[in-house]
A = this chain, B = another copy of it.
Amino acid sequence: MKTIGFIGLGIMGKPMARNLLKAGYSLVVYDLIPGPMEELAKLGAARAESPQEVAQKTSYLITMLPNSPEVKQVILGPNGVIEGAAPGSTVIDMSSISPVASKEVGNALEGKGIKFLDAPVSGGEPGAINATLSIMVGGALAVFEDCRDLLSAMGKSVVRVGDVGSGNVTKLANQIIVALNIAAMSEALVLGTKAGVDPALIYNAIRGGLAGSNVLEAKAMRVMQGNFEPGFKIDLHVKDLNNAVEAARAVGAPLFLTGQVLEILKCLQVEGKGGKDHSAILQFYERLAAVEVRKTED
C-alpha cells in the first residue's frame, strides 16, 4: 500500500486520517497542534516537522485545512508542500475553500510537475468518522482515477465533477442551496406561527409536496423543539458563502439571495451565535417577528 501524507488533523482531518490507517495505508502526518499527531502516531502514523517534510516522504499528500489562506500557506508557503514534493507526485486538497484559490494552487503545483485535485467533502464530522463522506472532485480524469481508491477509504460517494476548482464550485452550489432552503423554511414557519398556525401542522401538511426537502426533514422538527446545537456551524457556513460570493464575482454570476442570507448569518455571528447550527437563521426571523416557532401539538 502507498504511503500517504496527511496535513491538518482537525475535527474532520483526524478521523479521515484514521480511516486511511484502517484501510491499510501508511501515513506521515503533520499539524500545528501536537495532540492529534500524537494520537495518530499511537495508531502507527509517522510524524513530520513541516509540510515540506511530509511532501519529501510521500508521493500522495492530502490537506484538510480551515480555508483558502491556510491551504495556500501550507502548500505554497515557506517550508510548504511545494518545496518538498517531487515532480509526478499528487496533492489532494480536501478542504472547503474558494475555487479561485484551488485553481491558483493547482497552477502553481502544475508548474513544478506536481498533480493536484480539489476534493472537498460534505457529510460533516459523522461522515468523516464513519467514512461516509460525499467527495466532490475536480481535476484531470487520469489523476482522479489514480486516486479513486484512496478517496474511497474516506467516503461513500466519490464523484469527479470537472477540472481543478470544480470540486469546490460544486461544494459551494451545495452550500448556497442549503442556506437558502433554511431561510425559506424560516420565512414560511415564522409567517405561519405569527399568523397563529401550529408550525408542526404546517410542516406535516407541506412536507410531502413540492415544498418538501432534506433541509425540512433534517431541521424543521429540531428548530420547533428549540434545538440549535450543531450540526453545521454558522461560522463555517459564513466561510463557505464568503467563498461563494468571491467565486461568483470572479466569474460574473449573481447571488442576490445568497448575499442576503450571508448577511443574516453574519448578523447572527455578531450576536455570538457563530457556534450555533445554521438553522439558527430562523432565530433572526423570530426576533424580528417577536414570535417563537414552537410546535404546540405532539
Contacts and interface: CB of A to CB of B under 8 A. Distances in A.
A170 B134 contact: no
**Prevailing SS type, chain A contact patch:** helix
Counted per complex, copies of this chain come to 2
A195 interface: yes
Contact of A170 (B162, B185, B192, B210): B192
A186 to B, nearest CB: 9
A180 B180 contact: yes
Interface in A115-138: 122-123, 134, 136
A194 B244 CA distance: 12
B288 A254 contact: yes
A163 B196 contact: yes
A226 to B, nearest CB: 19
B187 A254 contact: yes
A212 interface: yes
Contact of A177 (B160, B208, B211): B211
A122 B207 CA distance: 12
Interface in A130-186: 134, 136, 157, 159-163, 165-166, 169-170, 172-181, 183-185
A189 interface: yes
Interface in A260-298: 260-261, 264, 285, 288-291
A194 B251 contact: yes
Contact of A256 (B202, B218, B260): B260
A175 to B, nearest CB: 8
Contacts of A157: 205, 208
A99 interface: yes
Interface in A91-131: 99, 122-123
Given A176-B188, A190-B253, 5 more contacts: A122-B210, A169-B195, A173-B191, A181-B181, A257-B260
Interface of A: 99, 122-123, 134, 136, 157, 159-163, 165-166, 169-170, 172-181, 183-185, 187-192, 194-198, 201-202, 204-206, 208-216, 218, 244, 247-248, 250-258, 260-261, 264, 285, 288-291
15 contacts: A136-B205, A157-B208, A159-B201, A170-B206, A177-B184, A177-B185, A177-B188, A178-B210, A180-B181, A181-B181, A183-B257, A210-B214, A212-B213, A212-B214, A260-B260
